[in-house]
């Protein structure tokens, strides 16, 4: 998802590039955000 966050491609462009629906890209973005939040919580609690 770094292609989108870097501003290089739009969600629709990434979907077309990989041959998937835009909703799949949105789900992948949300999954990455959730994972990053979970990792942050673990680091904060461990410290």
In whole angstroms, give the CA distance from residue 41 to residue 13: 32
- 15-21: average pLDDT: 97
d(CA 33, CA 17): 21
Check whether 36 has a pLDDT greater than 80.
yes
Place of tokens 């673990």: 42
- In this predicted structure, the answer to whether residue 41 has a pLDDT above a threshold of 90 is no
Whether the per-residue pLDDT at 42 is higher than 70: the answer is no
Predicted TM-score (pTM) above 0.75: no
DSSP letter assigned to residue 7: T
Q: How far apart are the first and last CA of the chain?
A: 28
pLDDT bin (cut points 50, 70, 90) of residue 29 is very high
Domain ranges of the chain: 2-46
Please report, rounded to a whole number, the percentage of residues in the chain having pLDDT higher than 90: 57
């Amino acid at each position: 998802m770094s292609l989108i966050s870097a501003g290089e491609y739009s969600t629709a462009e990434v979907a077309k590039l990989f041959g998937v629906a835009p909703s799949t890209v949105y789900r992948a973005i949300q999954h990455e955000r959730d994972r990053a939040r979970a990792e942050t919580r673990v680091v904060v609690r461990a410290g």
